[in-house]
Amino acid sequence: MSGFLKSSIGRKIAMALSAFFLMVFILQHFAINILSVFNPDLFNEASHFMGNNPLVQFVLQPVLIFGVIFHFVMGFVLEFKNKASRNVSYAVNNGNANSTWMSRNMIYSGGFILIFLVIHFIDFWIPEINTKYVLGDSSGLLADGSDYRYFVELQHKFIPLWRVLLYCAGFVFLSLHLLHGFSSAFQSVGANNKYTQALKGFGKAYAVLIPLGFIVIALFHFFNNSH
């Protein structure tokens, strides 16, 4: 099995498996975030559950962090190896004739997503960890104790225009990444059969609708609460 994970195909399959996990996570993240548009109370309840459930905090969260780091590190490692397999470039190369821009530039869309994720962690994850595990406040309540703090914190984050624009750009790159990545992950694990065309259609819908939904959430809070 160790030989398998050292092989080019083994690494490709490992990339795909981490991608599946991340795509499920994104869907779950979206499902909770969209509650903030329709039902702030339910959003607060869901956020509190996710932030305090031991299974989520101490099993799923470390797996998620490992999955994110693995996906980025392996992505960069494979990219450097692939670049090194052709020392002399073509004088003329017509990539558009045979492949999509998204498929050829996963490293750039992924790189921008990484920048976005660092900012996203600084914005939300690190303050959350600080409140719960450094300051020891797991109540999830505002300072005056009148309500849960999650919805109010979310609203405050989307007041500055620069952050809203940055998040929207991050989601555009996420969409570009998924437009190739969704079906690519299935191909990597060997799933290419009579359902592939339907799967590609579903993948495109996922790649457009989920990031678009995140953009709608960001814009909703920007326009609804700060202006």
Positions 109 through 168 that interact with another protein (CB under 8 A): none
7 counts as binding another protein under rule CB under 8 A: yes
Length of the chain as a residue count: 227
- Residue 134 or 198 with smaller CB distance to another protein: 198
Site string for another protein, 70-99 (x = CB under 8 A): --------x--xx-xxxxxxxxxxxx-xxx
**Nearest approach, Cβ of residue 181 and another protein (Å):** 9
Among residues 63, 119, 191, 205, which is the contact residue for another protein, using CB under 8 A?
191
Stretch that binds another protein, among 4-12, 24-32, 132-140, 148-156 (CB under 8 A): 4-12
Shortest distance (Å) from residue 5 CB to another protein: 9
Told to check if 197 binds another protein by CB under 8 A, we report: no
